[in-house]
Amino acid sequence: MRNRVNGTSFRQTTLRSSIRCSGIGLHTGEKIAMTLYPAEPGTGITFRRADLGGAEIPAQFDNVVDTRLCTTIANEDGASVGTVEHLLAAFSGCEVDNAMVELDGPEVPIMDGSAEPFVFLIDCAGLASQNAPRRAIQILRPVTVSDDGREASLEPSEHFSISLDIDFDNPRIGKQELTVDVTSHLFKAEICRARTFGFLHEVEALRQSGLALGGSLDNAVVLSGDEILNEGGLRYTNEFVRHKVLDCIGDLYLAGGPLIGHYSGRRAGHAVHNKLLRALFADAKAWTWTSLEETIAEPAEVEAAWPAPLVAATA
C-alpha cells in the first residue's frame, strides 16, 4: 500500500524527536518555554501546562473559551492556553496529526508573529509515520454561520480549500481577497511567513485591557494610518489577508483532524471560526470521517489534480 501521494500521508504522523524553544507571549508579555513532543496515534494535539502540575488541554473546538484577538482553549478544570492558532496552523500545514505541546506559561510564544518559526521547529524535529491510518473530516453538506456582518461556511469539495476576504477601514489594507487550495507545499511556501498585524492607535486600549502586553515590531506588523512601522515593510503585498488565512487554518484544525471541504469567509475571525465548527459538529449529517487514502487521486491523475497556483486580489 502506498504511504504518500501528492505530498499527503496516508498514515498518521507525529514528531520524530522532541524540540524546545522559548519566546514572549503576545498578550501576557511573559517569557515562556515550549517543548514539542511526539505523541501516540489517535491522541491528536494536546497542550500541557507544566507550571500547573501537568494539566492537559486537548486542542478541540469545544474547548475554546475565548476568541478575543486570539484563540484560547481550556479544560474543565480551568487550565488554559492562549494564542494557539499559529502553532496549530503549523501542525496542520506540516501534516502533524499527534503531538504534545508542553508550556511553562499560559500562552504559546508569539515568535515573529507568523507560523514560520514553528514550521522550522517541526522540520528540525522531523516527522515519523505511525501505524494507524490518517483520517479526515469530509464535509457532506453546506454549513453557514454569521455574526454581526461576519460570515463563514463549509461546503463539500474534493480537497481542502479556502476563500477569504477582509475589509478594514485602513487605506493600507482596505479590501483583500485570497483563494487557495491548501497543501503542505503551499502552506510552507506562501502562507506560513505572513505575520499578525495591529494598529498603533489601539495599542494603549489593548494594554489597559491586559492584552498585547508583549506586542512589538519584532512580532507583529504595526500600522499607523497608512504607514507600516516595521523596518523592511511587508513580506507580501497582501500579507494581511494571507495571515487571516493562516489563522483560519489553525482555528479549523481544532476540528480534530484535517478537513476535506471548501471554506468561505467574509470578515471572519476566531469567533466565527469556532461558531462554524460548533455548527458543523452539531449536524451529524453534515460531516463524516473518511480515510485520506480513499480521497487521493491515483498516480495517473496526480498531475491533473495538482492545486492551482495561488490566486490573490487586492483593492
**Which residues are the active-site residues?**
270
Rounded to whole angstroms, the Cα distance separating 108 from 116 reads 14
Match 508583549 to its residue by C-alpha cell. Answer: 214
In 3-state terms, what secondary structure has residue 12?
A: strand
Burial of 156 (0-12, 13-18, 19+ CB in 10 A): middle
Residue 162, beta-bridge partner list: 180, 263
Size (the chain), residues: 315
The whole-angstrom distance between residue 278's C-alpha and the CA centroid of its chain comes to 17
The sign of the CA dihedral 204, 206, 208, 214 is: negative
In 3-state terms, what secondary structure has residue 164?
A: strand
In 3-state terms, what secondary structure has residue 203?
A: helix
Give CA separation, 81 vs 76, 121, 134, 269, 297, in Å. 13, 19, 26, 18, 38
Write the secondary structure of 29-94 as one string of H (helix), E (strand) and C (coil). Answer: CCEEEEEEEECCCCCCEEEEEHHHCCEEEECCHHHEEECCCCCEEECCCCCEEECCHHHHHHHHHC
